[in-house]
Amino acid sequence: MVKEKATVFAGYSLRDWVYVAVFGALWGAAELTLGAYLHVLFPPMADTFMIGLIMAGLGAVIAMVGRQFVPRGGAVFMIGIITALLKTLSLGGIKIGPVVAILAEAFLIELTLTLARQPIRRHFILAGSLAVSWNFFHKFIMMRILYGKGIEKVYVKMVVDGSNVLGIDVNYGLLVIGLLFLMRVAVGAVAGWLAWDLGGAVRRRLPGEVG
C-alpha cells in the first residue's frame, strides 16, 4: 500500500507522468527540428501560416495520442507546457508567438476532451478542429498584442499571401480567408481522426496497456 501511494502524485501514477513527459518531448522535438527545417525550406509559406498549419496538425496528433495513454484531466495541457518549455530552447531564441500557440492548442484540446468526459472519435475530431483553427486567429491576436497592428493590416497581408499560395485572385479576399480557415478545420479534423486510430493501435501493441 505504501509503495502504491508513493507512485501516485496529483492523481497521476508514475507511468502517467512518464507518458506526459514522453509525448511533451515528442511534440517539442518536432517543433525544434521539423518546424525549423520547414521555415528554412519554405520561407514564403511561413507568412501564410502553412508551416504553422502543418505543425499545429502534427502537434494535435501527438497531444491527443498522449491523451489516450493518460486519460486524465489536465494531461494534454501538461504535455503542452512541456512542449512550450522545450520550444524556448530554439536556436533562434525565445519567441512568444509559438509558445502561446502551443499552449492555446493544448488548452483547446484539453477543454474539449474534459467537457466530453468520455471521449470518442467524434470528440477527438472536434478537439482537433478547434485546436488547429486557433492557428487562423493566432496571427490577428498576436500581431495586435505584440506590435499594435490593426486587424485590417493583418487581413490584407493574409489575403495577399493566401492568394499567392492558393492561386486565387486577390480581389476574392473573403474567399481566400474562408478557404484558409476551412483548411485549418479540415486539418484539425483529420488530426483528431488519426490520433484516435493511432493511439488505440499503439496502446494495443504495448505490453501492459488495455486495448
Specify the DSSP class assigned to residue 118.
S
CATH code of the domain containing 145? 1.10.1760
Q: Which of 112, 135, 140 is nearest to 185 (CA)?
A: 135
Q: For residue range 50-108, list pLDDT tens digits in order.
A: 788 889 999 999 999 999 999 999 999 999 999 999 988 876 667 788 899 999 999 99
Task: Please check whether residue 211 is in contact with residue 200, taking contact to mean a CB–CB distance below 8 angstroms.
Answer: yes
Torsion sign across C-alpha atoms 190, 196, 200, 203: positive
Q: Report yes or no on 169 lying in a domain.
A: yes
Q: For residue range 172-188, list pLDDT tens digits in order.
A: 889 999 999 999 999 99
Q: Report yes or no on 93 lying in a domain.
A: yes
pTM: 0.86
Angle at 50 between CA 134 and CA 171, to 5 degrees: 90
Radius of gyration of the chain (CA): 18
Q: How many domains does the chain have?
A: 1
* Residue 6 belongs to domain spanning: 2-205
Higher pLDDT, 131 or 42: 131
Residue 141's pLDDT band (cuts 50, 70, 90): confident
Of 19-23, 47-51, 157-161, which gets the smallest average pLDDT? 47-51
Q: Report yes or no on 210 lying in a domain.
A: no
Kindly tell me the burial class for residue 28, based on how many C-beta atoms sit within 10 Å of its own C-beta (0-12, 13-18, 19 or more). buried
Distance CA 53, CA 64 (A): 16
Task: Please check whether residue 115 is in contact with residue 61, taking contact to mean a CB–CB distance below 8 angstroms.
Answer: no
How many angstroms separate the Cα of 184 from the Cα of each of 48, 66, 135, 190? 12, 21, 7, 10
Q: Report yes or no on 108 lying in a domain.
A: yes
- Return the pLDDT at 8: 58
**Which runs of consecutive H residues, i.e. helices, occur in the chain?**
2-6, 14-32, 34-41, 43-46, 50-69, 75-87, 96-116, 121-147, 151-166, 173-205
- Return the pLDDT at 1: 39
Q: Report yes or no on 100 lying in a domain.
A: yes
Q: Report yes or no on 211 lying in a domain.
A: no
Q: Report yes or no on 42 lying in a domain.
A: yes
